[in-house]
Amino acid sequence: MDHRFLYRGVCLNHHERDGGVLKPKGDQAERGLFFDGTWTFGDGMLFGASKTNAVIYHQKDSNRFPTAYVSFSPHLDRAIYYATHRWDGEKAVPDQPGIIYVVDTALLDAYGVEAYRIADYAKVPTVPGDDEVALLGPGGGALPVGIVVDRRPVP
């Protein structure tokens, strides 16, 4: 991993809803390729079920394609943005802070967490400036709390 720390920003509502646990939106660690218009030739997809496909679908739209991956960025400013904004770019909740989770990448192997740098799989990342890294927890479940070395409120 190129970066020692990864950051994930969530609004306070999501942080409280999930009890401070980093949970994926779905349970698919692998995803097949379907001829349904959700991919384009040359975008990095593979025929058959694969983690590559799941990672690419995840970064395209994790609400539409819920997978077992959780998104992070090596850039703190991107995590701050996601902690304080909705997906449409509007401020999340005025005067309500967000939360930044800080993950130490040196701990991933010890906790059985796999990291997938999106740019290594998706030929055209959806949000290139994020330098997104998708983390896959053991068994496709929540990420172990032991990899989180800090939680920071964002005003």
2, pLDDT greater than 90: no
Domain residue ranges in the chain: 5-154
Is 5:74 a contact under the CB 8 Å cutoff?
yes
Percent of the chain, pLDDT > 90?
46
φ, ψ dihedrals at 133, nearest 5°: -125, 125
3 state SS of 22: coil
* 53-59: average pLDDT: 80
Q: What is the average pLDDT across 41-51?
A: 66
> Which is more confidently placed, 73 or 87?
73
How many whole angstroms separate alpha carbon 10 and alpha carbon 83?
Answer: 4
**Cα three-residue angle 141-21-147, rounded to 5 degrees:** 80
pLDDT at 154 over 80: yes
Across 22-31, 46-55, 122-131, 139-148, the highest mean pLDDT is recorded for 139-148
E strands in the chain: 5-11, 69-72, 98-104, 114-117, 133-136, 148-154
Query: Domain 5-154 classified CATH 3.90.210?
Result: yes
